[in-house]
Amino acid sequence: MLISCGAQPGSELTPIPTAIPSLTSTIVPVPPTYTSTFEVAAPTPFICNEDWQSLPVVPDASDVARNLYQQGLSQGNNDRAFSKIGDGEISTDWFLTVFDLGDGHYDLGKYQSLEVTLEYFRGSFERHSIAAQRGFNTNLILDPVASDPALCNESESPLDCELRIHNPSVALLSLGTNQAHRPEEFESGMRSILEILISKNILPILSTKGDNLEGDHRINRTIACLAQEYQLPLWNFWAAIQPLSNHGLQSDLEHLTYSGTNDFGEPAAMESAWTVRNLTALQTLEQVWKGVHR
Residue 103's pLDDT band, with cuts at 50, 70 and 90, is: confident
pLDDT, residue 19, reads 47
Percent of the chain with pLDDT over 70: 85
Q: Which pTM was predicted?
A: 0.84
pLDDT, residue 18, reads 47
Secondary structure (3-state) at 85: strand
pLDDT, residue 28, reads 56
pLDDT, residue 31, reads 58
More confident position, 12 or 218: 218
pLDDT tens-place string over residues 163-210? 999 999 999 999 999 999 888 899 999 999 999 999 999 999 999 999
Contact 277, 261 (CB under 8 A): no
One-character DSSP codes across 87-135: SHHHHSTTSSGGGGS-GGG-B-TT-TTHHHHHHHTTTTSS---TTB-TT
pLDDT over 60 (residue 290): yes
Mean pLDDT of 7-32: 48
pLDDT over 70 (residue 32): no
Classify domain 53-292 at the CATH class level. alpha beta
Domain boundaries, the chain: 53-292
Mean pLDDT of 277-288: 98
pLDDT, residue 62, reads 96
**How many residues does the structure list for the chain?**
294
Contact 165, 151 (CB under 8 A): yes
**How many CB atoms sit inside 10 A of residue 196's CB?**
18
pLDDT over 50 (residue 9): no
Mean pLDDT of 39-55: 77
pLDDT, residue 10, reads 44
**How many CB atoms sit inside 10 A of residue 213's CB?**
16
Give Cα separations from 146 to 31, 180, 200, 229 (angstroms).
66, 20, 21, 29
Residue 14's pLDDT band, with cuts at 50, 70 and 90, is: very low
pLDDT over 60 (residue 34): no
More confident position, 51 or 13: 51
Contacts of residue 129, Cβ cutoff 8 Å, sequence gap at least 6: 83, 84, 85, 90, 91, 162, 166
Mean pLDDT of 146-174: 97
pLDDT, residue 37, reads 52
pLDDT tens-place string over residues 217-247? 999 999 999 999 999 999 999 999 999 999 9
